[in-house]
Amino acid sequence: MSKQQRLVDLPADVLLRILALCDVEDVLRVEMTCRVLRDIVATQHLWLSHLRGLPNDCAPNLPPHISVVSLDSIGLKTLVVRAVRGNRNWSSPSPNVTREIKVTVNNPTREPALFVNEASLVPGDDYLVVHWESGQPDLWKDNCVQLLEVPNGEKIWLYPDPDYSGSMLRMLWVYSVDCVSEDILRVATAETDSPISRKLSDFFPLSRSNKRALTYWFFRIAIKIFEIDLRQRRSEKIYDFQLVNDHLMEPRNLYLQGDHIVLVGWERILSFLNWKSSCCANLESVSFSAISD
């Protein structure tokens, strides 16, 4: 009678394939059973496979300039376990707060009507971006975006800065952050001037039976990119481009990644821009259900 085969007698590549299909918590339990399986679980390839298999809502908060393949098995395991357990915690009816950091955010201007419209952590959780906005149209010119260090709340960058001498349009609507390296961030902003009211009849002949005055709103949109040196606490404007077309739209969202910018407008228009070559293309009548916010 042949000896019964044990799990640890299976080839290492077979064990890796089995563990790659298991739940992360099950892999952690297998790791605690014996030295042989602990060594198998400690393989970089296994945790890289689990990391790539995570759903989008469970992806770890990793700065984009860090390559996952450069991490060792311990670093990959830590990323995966934290991502899975964090997602499970925040998806539960009563999530537990595992860590709380308080950052004091002060109004960077003298205008009391400003409020925090949006605050988001830069990947890596060391910096906080705050978008200040006014609810009063006549004060939209005071909108600004601020970069703070976590947790001390020290101001790293502010646009528009009170000492900023460059040209700026009237309203700063949206922004996007791209991590270039550990010490370099790029922040893109989209700002517009005051809307211009134009009748539709200025562009197309209307039927005499149409007595209703149809009005469209037009904007000039300026896209600017600032490069921020986090170590030296210095910033430099590296790009300034004004979009010009027949139906400029109010910005809704802005995405910056590498050499490319995507500007989403409320009028179902997408603008794609390669900021290094200043090549721009527009898509009209886009369904927003297909666009991720």
Per-residue pLDDT of the chain (293 residues; tens, 9 = 90+): 456 778 888 899 999 999 999 999 999 999 999 999 999 999 999 999 999 899 888 888 776 667 788 889 999 999 999 899 988 988 888 888 877 888 888 888 777 778 898 898 888 788 999 998 887 766 667 788 999 999 888 999 998 876 554 555 567 888 899 988 888 999 999 887 655 554 444 444 444 444 444 444 556 788 899 999 998 999 999 999 887 654 546 678 889 988 999 888 766 677 888 988 878 887 776 554 544 44
3-class SS string, the chain: CCCCCCHHHCCHHHHHHHHHHCCHHHHHHHHCCCHHHHHHHCCHHHHHHHHHCCCHHHCCCCCCCCCHHHCCHHHHHHHHHHHHHHHHHHHCCCCCCCCCCCCCCCCCCCCCCEEEEEEEECCCCCEEEEEEEECCHHHHHHCEEEEEECCCCCEEEEECCCCCCCCCCCEEEEEEEEECCCCEEEEEEEEECCCEEEEHHHCCCCCCCCCCCCEEEECCEEEEEEEEECCCCEEEEEEEEEECCCCCCCEEEEEEECCEEEEEECCCEEEEEECCCCEEEEEECCCHHHCCC
What pLDDT, on the 0 to 100 scale, is given for residue 203?
Answer: 44
What pLDDT, on the 0 to 100 scale, is given for residue 238?
Answer: 93
Sign of CA dihedral 248, 250, 252, 255: positive
What pLDDT, on the 0 to 100 scale, is given for residue 214?
Answer: 47
What pLDDT, on the 0 to 100 scale, is given for residue 291?
Answer: 47
What pLDDT, on the 0 to 100 scale, is given for residue 98?
Answer: 75
What pLDDT, on the 0 to 100 scale, is given for residue 65?
Answer: 67
What pLDDT, on the 0 to 100 scale, is given for residue 138?
Answer: 62
What pLDDT, on the 0 to 100 scale, is given for residue 170?
Answer: 63
